[in-house]
């Protein structure tokens, strides 16, 4: 919906109603995600390796048909609103340029709705997640359809008009909105950081964990807004070429997910610290390290896209600097294998 608004936003009753329907759909999806997993109405099955799948509750997956159905309803509302917006615009566009650019995307959105509905009707709970993954893949292909057809057209492998790029995104508005998205994700990390309550036995460690977490979140925010978003001087990926701009914008999805992993890890460290003999649980530590590693790799890639990858491999000095940055990124993964010290140290 944000991509549509950047191109065709108009403040009239038609757009307001559909935007409100989209927000309602998102709200329905959200309230059916964070639910009580101990509810007896859940259907459960186990996934895992060997005997661990029958004994370890970490391999247990639970699905509630009621919450799942409501989630799918919210999903269908959001996608229906987007389909109506693009279809209505295509109907009044006599040049058919809107239809040429977004028709493939609408097809994949419809297929995603079908997959989610089939997952709801399917009674076997072991199959439902796979339909959901297929729907996610269709969503991703739908959003990337224009970039894919552009690449195929450049190679001479796509002779059709469908997928032709007619309506570019305003790069300045796109940068601003994506920056707000990253800011919201980082704000979520701060909320999760201050939510848990520490026991008096580990109060001193609690101060250290909270201060270190705030410093970590601040460093990620400063690195993104100072080095990734604003570009390198007058150069920016969104102004180099269409493919670089689309890729740079879509990398925000991976960056947001990795920052979310950091938020979950920080919340887990705060929540599970009192329950572990030597501090946080091993899962929280792994999530934190993986989230930091992926975030650093993605931001490094986005930063390199402003001047192009060839620029960073042009001289030996730039290659050495790139190697040092990669060592810094992979250093986050090394922490996984460093043993934890007792809280007293």
Per-residue pLDDT tens over the stretch 88-123? 988 888 888 888 888 888 999 999 999 999 988 877
What is the structure's pLDDT at 95?
Answer: 85
What is the structure's pLDDT at 53?
Answer: 45
The pLDDT of residue 44 is above 70: no
Contact present, 259 and 291 (Cβ < 8 Å): yes
Strand, coil or helix: what is 266?
A: helix
Strand, coil or helix: what is 232?
A: strand
Mean pLDDT within 55-72 = 66
d(CA 71, CA 281): 31
Question: Average model confidence (pLDDT) for the chain?
Answer: 81
The pLDDT of residue 306 is above 80: yes
Percent helix, strand, coil in the chain (nearest 5)? 75, 5, 25
What is the structure's pLDDT at 161?
Answer: 80
d(CA 225, CA 185): 14
Query: Phi-psi bin for 224: left (phi > 0), alpha (psi -120 to 50), beta?
Result: alpha
Proportion of the chain above pLDDT 70, given as a percent: 82
Q: How many helices (H) and strands (E) does the chain have?
A: 13, 2
d(CA 280, CA 268): 8
Question: What is the phi/psi pair of residue 240, to 5°?
Answer: -80, -60
CB-side neighbour CA atoms (13 Å) of 293: 14
Instruction: For residue range 223-264, list pLDDT tens digits in order.
Output: 999 888 877 767 888 888 777 887 888 899 899 999 988 988
Query: Tokens 């295509």, residue?
Result: 90
d(CA 220, CA 215): 9
Instruction: For residue range 134-188, list pLDDT tens digits in order.
Output: 998 998 888 888 778 877 888 888 888 877 777 777 777 788 888 888 998 988 8
d(CA 177, CA 2): 8
H/E element holding 145?
Answer: helix 128-154
Q: Among 187, 303, 309, which residue's Cα sits nearest to residue 251?
A: 303
What is the structure's pLDDT at 34?
Answer: 59
The pLDDT of residue 192 is above 70: yes
């Amino acid at each position: 919906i944000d991509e549509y608004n950047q191109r065709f936003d108009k403040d009239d009753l038609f757009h307001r109603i559909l935007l409100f329907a989209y927000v309602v759909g998102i709200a329905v999806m959200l309230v059916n995600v964070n639910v009580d997993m101990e509810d007896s109405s859940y259907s459960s099955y186990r996934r895992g390796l060997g005997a661990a799948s029958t004994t370890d509750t970490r391999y247990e997956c639970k699905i509630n048909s009621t919450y799942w159905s409501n989630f799918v309803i919210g999903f269908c509302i959001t996608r229906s609103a987007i389909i109506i917006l693009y279809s209505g615009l295509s109907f009044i566009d006599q040049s058919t340029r809107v239809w040429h650019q977004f028709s493939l995307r609408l097809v994949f959105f419809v297929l995603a709705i079908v997959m989610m509905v089939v997952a709801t009707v399917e009674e076997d709970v072991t199959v439902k997640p796979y339909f959901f993954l297929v729907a996610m893949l269709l969503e991703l292909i739908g959003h990337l359809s224009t970039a894919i057809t552009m690449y195929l057209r450049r190679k001479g492998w796509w002779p059709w008009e469908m997928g032709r790029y007619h309506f570019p995104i305003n790069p300045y508005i796109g940068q601003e909105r994506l920056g707000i998205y990253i800011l919201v994700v980082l704000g979520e990390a701060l909320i999760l950081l201050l939510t848990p309550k520490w026991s008096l036995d580990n109060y001193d460690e609690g101060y250290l964990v909270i201060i270190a977490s705030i410093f970590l979140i601040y460093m990620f925010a400063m690195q993104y807004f100072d080095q990734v978003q604003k570009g390198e001087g007058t150069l920016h990926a969104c102004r180099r070429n269409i493919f670089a701009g689309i890729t740079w914008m879509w990398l925000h999805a991976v960056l947001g997910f990795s920052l979310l992993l950091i938020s979950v890890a920080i919340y887990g460290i705060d929540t599970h610290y009192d329950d572990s003999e030597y501090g946080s649980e091993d899962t929280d530590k792994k999530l934190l390290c993986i989230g930091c590693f992926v975030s650093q790799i993605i931001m490094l890639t986005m930063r390199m896209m402003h001047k192009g990858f060839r620029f960073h491999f042009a001289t030996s000095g730039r290659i050495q600097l790139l190697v040092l940055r990669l060592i810094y990124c992979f250093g986050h993964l090394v922490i996984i294998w460093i043993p934890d010290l007792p809280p007293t140290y």
